[in-house]
A and B are shown apart, each in its own frame.
Chain A
Amino acid sequence: MWFDTLFNHPADAYRTGTLLFANVVEPLWWFIGAGIVITAIAASVVVGRHTQALAWWQRTIIAGLQAAVALVVIGLLAGPALQTTTLQPGANSVAILIDTSGSMGFPNVASDPGQTRLDAAVDLLQQHLILKLSDLTEVALFTFDTSAVRRSADEETIDGRLAAGTETNLIASTASVLDSFKGAPLAAVIVLSDGADNGSNSSPDMAALAAHGVPVHTIGFGPRSLPGEVQLADVQLAADAPPASRVTAHLVIEHTGSGEAVVRVRDGGTLLAAHRVQLRPDTPTVRTEIVFDSGNAGIRELSFELEPPPGDVLAQNNQIQRLLTVNERRRRLLYLEGEPRWEYKFIRRAIAGDKVLELVSWLRTTDRKTYRQGVSNEDELVSGFPPDLQTLYGYDVIILGSLAATSLNRQQHEWLESFVAERGGSLLALAGRQALTDGGWDVQPLAAALPITLDRESGPTYGPASGIVRPTRDGLVSPLTQLADGEGVNAWATLPSLGDHQRLGALKPAATTLLELVQGEAISPLLVTQPYGLGTTAVLATATTWRWQMRTPPDDPRHGLFWRQLLRQLAEMAQRQKNVDLANDAGGIVVHVAVRNKLFEPATDVSASAVITHPDRTETQLSLAATDVPGVLGARYVPGVPGVYRVDVAIEDAAGKETITRFVRTGVANREYFRPVQDEPLLRRMAQATGGRFWSPEDVAGITAALTFAGSGIRAVALLPLWNMPACFLLLVLLKLGEWGLRRLWGRL
């Protein structure tokens, strides 16, 4: 307000306008004239009789003040003015979007639970915005949560303070309003919101918003923090898992409190796992993991629950539901071993009878003889290594034992590398006399894929050793290395020590160490893994895990658990020939099918259809159409009622017909309870990206000026005179008062 009084016009006029001098026709002459006048005044002061008694610096100050007065007067005589544009009154619209999602029903300030954010927003709208803006433009009012809806100002949905939306598509709703005004003169969009953008159709695409060229002004409601609030912000979990395997879920807890929280995962009413998490004030975001058993084949409706420490504000954001499909699709493993040894026996024994893993092994018993086990027919591996790439790609995991590199030819070595890189399979290299560097693998293509460097050394890297196994921080939570419920490090610490070790080269940048071997003070990597191409490689620097079976009581399951878990997860990580992905967004259930041929190239001649079974057991047929991506088909289905939908996708390609079943839950829980504070940064980003401004309700008075002088719509050029602004006259008075004061001080009035 003071700015407008002093300078005659709002700051926005200066921000957007261009300064010009209306009376100046020939600027050069003006500069010369002004220079002469100012020089003359200054000279008369410096050399004049009346100032001879002053010191030279005192004369200089007086001369400067008089010259400044002359400069201001000359400037005013030049006719200063601002050239800007202003809204053409009555010719434009302003769209006001008011957020009516559930979170707007929360208290606007923590200290006053009686006034909701929507109350505050509607009050601001009705008592200020509409009154101010209606003189300037036509006001188009919208409410939004999932999507924007046009309203009249007196509708109950606004005045009745109903904040009922279960999710908010803030940016998408704003974009849709902008779209609806395409071609119409829209001066600006004003969004009254707490900034929650949690909808399934939420989009961070600010650039698309900015492309409309209309400034979006945002006004934020709600507290910026809720002391003591704890919420389970996210749970990340694989869509499916093999039966009876250990599954790791990654949880994100956001909080402004402190104390001990407990996270639990339940299947229906059955508690699957629980563990404690310490919340500290200096870590507002805590990432933790919970490991549980996948159980038998079928669908798991999992509930992840957070029991917060005392002081939590909202209880509704402490639970998240997830689905887990447990399927028994067989995974084929190929184990190539160069010598009969105990590790081979006990790996086979550990996964014997497993419902998921199908271990096919090829063992060199003598220099000229091999022994095959687990083959599906008489021809499998009859000539040793798989005869062609297609057969090799039929396996999900390859285990390399103590097999000299010279056992394979050049092409077979290249196939092994491409098995990981292109087929996306998993490869596990075990320790042994003929493994890794000792076996000559350092000069083979596979060396590039392994997570460690294979450096030729003068002596053997493999030999007897004694040490215990310890999981790293990554190993404790990795699905590859899970031994038992809640035991963590203890489950490993009580295992018998190993009897051998292979010294590994340096870890590659993408490598992750999951297990370490502790030999006194020395710690060496034991199980290291890394992604490579489309697949995964791992190195286990021991071949005496069989001691975990033979040196523990017969009912100790850890050896079997270790191997089943490791191999199942490696198999899970391998790319599949046929993939079905389900997503649930505002547009419905999206079904995507990706099909590859036996060489794992995108399949060309593919058709797919789906049967969607509704929660009430009725079925809907759905045809999938090819997409722009080769080998990918897709379709969308809009479900009627919320619930769990079963989707059976039948895929037909050159290899035959296969049906894959997936589940998806629609009608997600109320997202409004999550992140219940004002997201001011998002509101600021929206405003900045579009040329608008973020306002707090307290300083929103200036929004009219901001709309008048800046924005889009039909606008008129305006020339705003500045010569009469009080600030100039105040300046002249101050200059003369200053001179008078100095002269009086120096006794030379």
Chain B
Amino acid sequence: MHLPSFVLLALLAHTASAMEVNVPTDLTLVNLTRVEYDSAGSEAYYWHEGRLWARWETDYPQAEHNFAKRLGELTRLQTARVPIKRRLTDSDLGDFPLIYMSDMGYASFTPEEAEALRAYLDNGGFLWADDFWGDAEWANFERFMHRVLPGNHWREVPIVHPIFHTVFEHEEMPQIPAENFARPWSTTSEPAWVHRPPAGSLERASMRGYFDEDGRLMVIGTHNTDVADGWEREAYGQWYFEHFSTKSYRLGVNVFTYVLTH
């Protein structure tokens, strides 16, 4: 669906102003930080629940709201309840040593953004990219990471890695579908037709990582899964909560705890 650009801008301005919360950042807390980025092409925006969404804001800010609250309940992390959003080129990006990106299948980055992310990661920052489905969306992210970390290639993070065991024990990488695709009688993967072609197989969820020279994880991509949707939609039904939100929270707690300790 193509909309005139002035309509898009007006809608974006409305949604952005409605969500913007301008409060001083409390650095004594762990701030959940969403990265705002541009997407390219006709799929850069999508219509959902009565408004137009940019790709970067998928599940934002409800997912962060819910997750911040659950982190405070489930762990001893002191989290800010109001999420932060930043662009990679924002000068204070370093105040948020863990940043989260979602739905990056159509993401488009400038050289300045790639450079900023490289410096951020070199300093010890951590990027969690989530909600990729299929091969094409991952490939788009992989191309970007190739610009950010030339010569560094992703590796699958094995289930024995500490990130799966810091607080909760995981025996497999959970696959979390968006709530509207989750059916008790179906598989847990989302349908290929809603994702960037060629999607390839969407059946198996995995965590893919970029490691630094010392073997520390710098970037994880949770592939074929939408962890943040489990946070966002926790109240959309008991069945979804019990089957998916709990797994989302368990993995989220582990990722945050791992990043805060390594």
Does B112 touch A at the CB level, under 8 Å?
A: no
The CA-CA distance from A611 to B9 in the complex, in Å, is 82
Residue A182 interfacial (CB < 8 Å): no
- Take A340-B256, A371-B257, A554-B119 as given contacts and tell me if A500 and B27 are in contact as well, using a CB distance cutoff of 8 Å: yes
Contact of A339 with B76 at beta-carbon distance under 8 Å, contacts A464-B24, A547-B94 already known: yes
Decide yes or no whether B139 CB sits under 8 A from chain A.
no
Q: Closest CB of chain A to B84's CB: distance in Å?
A: 14
Chain A nearest CB, measured from B252 CB (Å):
13
Contacts of B124 in A (CB 8 A): 345-346, 349, 549-550
User: 1/0 per position for B57-98, CB-CB distance to A under 8 A?
Assistant: 000000000000000001111100000000000001011010
- How far is B120's CA from A547's CA once the two chains are assembled, in angstroms? 12
**Is A462's beta carbon under 8 Å from chain B?**
yes
Task: Give chain B nearest CB distance to A340 CB in angstroms.
Answer: 4
B contacts with A: majority SS:
loop
Query: Can you give 9 contacting A-B residue pairs, CB < 8 Å?
Result: A339-B77, A341-B30, A365-B75, A365-B257, A462-B28, A546-B97, A550-B95, A550-B120, A550-B125
Contact A338 to B262, CB < 8 A, known contacts A433-B28, A543-B28, A544-B28: no
- Which of B26, B95, B125 is in CB contact (< 8 Å) with A547? B95
CB < 8 Å neighbour of B261 from A363, A367, A546? A363
Contact status A500-B28, CB under 8 Å = yes
Convert B231-262 into 0s and 1s, putting 1 for each residue whose CB lies closer than 8 angstroms to a CB of A.
00000000000000000000000001101111
Please, what's the 1-or-0 string for A518-544, where 1 marks a CB less than 8 Å from any CB in chain B? 000000000000000000000000011
Residue B214 CB within 8 A of the other chain: yes
- Alpha-carbon distance between A673 and B31 when the two chains are bound, in angstroms: 65
Q: Is B156 an interface residue (CB 8 A)?
A: no
Q: Which residues does A use to contact B, with CB under 8 Å?
A: 338-342, 344-346, 348-349, 352-353, 363-367, 369, 371, 373, 433, 462-464, 499-500, 543-544, 546-547, 549-554
Do A342 and B260 touch (CB < 8 A)? yes
- Name the B residues within 8 Å of A371 (CB-CB): 166-167, 257, 261
Name B259's closest neighbour in chain A (CB-CB).
Answer: A345
A366 near B76: Cβ-Cβ < 8 Å = yes
Q: Are B262 and A345 in contact (CB under 8 A)?
A: yes
Q: A345 contacts B260, CB within 8 Å?
A: yes
Known: A340-B256, A499-B28. A345 touches B261 (CB 8 A): yes
Is the interface on chain B under 10, 10 to 19, 20 to 34, or 35 or more residues?
20 to 34
The reply to whether A554 and B122 contact each other, CB–CB distance below 8 Å, is yes
Residues of A within 8 A of B78 (CB): 339, 341, 433
Contact A340 B27 (CB under 8 A): no
Asked if B5 CB lies within 8 Å of chain A CBs, one says: no
Q: Does B123 contact A (CB under 8 A)?
A: yes
Q: Please determine whether B166 and A544 come into contact, CB atoms closer than 8 angstroms.
A: no
CB distance from B143 to the nearest CB of A (A): 23
Q: Are B257 and A364 within 8 A (Cβ)? A: no
Q: With A and B bound together, what is the CA distance between A151 and B214 in angstroms? A: 73
The 7 closest A-B pairs by CB, nearest first: A499-B27, A550-B94, A554-B122, A340-B260, A339-B76, A551-B94, A500-B28
Give bound CA distance, A433 to B78, whole Å: 9
Distance of B104 from chain A, by nearest CB (Å): 23
Q: Chain B nearest CB: distance from A480 CB in Å? A: 23
A546 to B25, CA, bound (A): 15
Contacts of A364 in B (CB 8 A): 76
Task: Pick the most buried of A338, A342, A353: most chain B CB atoms within 10 A of its CB.
Answer: A342
- Within the complex, the shortest CB–CB distance from B173 to chain A, in Å, comes to 21
- Give Cα A371–Cα B76 distance, bound, in whole angstroms: 12
Residue of A nearest to B125 (CB): A550
CA distance in complex: A464, B256 (Å) = 22
Which residues of chain A have C-beta atoms less than 8 A from B257's C-beta? 340, 365, 371
- Tell me, in angstroms, the Cα distance from A145 to B196 when the chains sit together: 94
Q: With a CB–CB cut-off of 8 A, which chain A residues contact B77?
A: 339-341
Whether the Cβ atoms of B97 and A348 lie closer than 8 Å is no
In the complex, which of the residues B26, B97, B119 has the most CB atoms of chain A within 10 Å of its own CB atom?
B97
Interfacial chain B residues near A549, Cβ < 8 Å: 123-124
Name which of A341, A344, A463 has the most chain B CB atoms within 10 A of its CB: A341
Give the chain A neighbours of B30 by CB distance below 8 A: 340-342
Please name all residues of chain B whose beta carbon is closer than 8 Å to the beta carbon of A554 when the two chains form the complex: 119, 122-123
Most buried by A among B76, B167, B260: B76
- Residues of B136-177 contacting chain A, CB below 8 A: 166-167
Cα–Cα, bound, A367→B94 (Å): 29
- Chain A min CB distance to B32 (Å): 13
- Minimum CB–CB distance from A526 to chain B (whole Å) comes to 15
Cβ contact of B97, chosen from A338, A342, A363, A369, cutoff 8 A: A342
Chain B residues with Cβ below 8 Å from A463 are 28
| Distance between Cα atoms of A366 and B28 in the complex (Å) | 18
Q: Which residues of A contact B74 (CB under 8 A)?
A: 366
Asked if residues A547 and B27 are in contact (CB atoms below 8 Å), the reply is: yes
Once the chains bind, are A367 and B28 in contact (CB under 8 Å)? no
The complex places the Cα of A499 from the Cα of B96 at a distance, in Å, of 12
Q: Which residues of A contact B26 (CB under 8 A)?
A: 464
What sequence of 0s and 1s flags, for each residue 21-48 of chain B, a beta carbon within 8 Å of any chain A beta carbon? 0001111101000000000000000000
Cβ contacts under 8 Å, A553 to chain B? 119
Chain B residues, Cβ within 8 Å of A352: 214
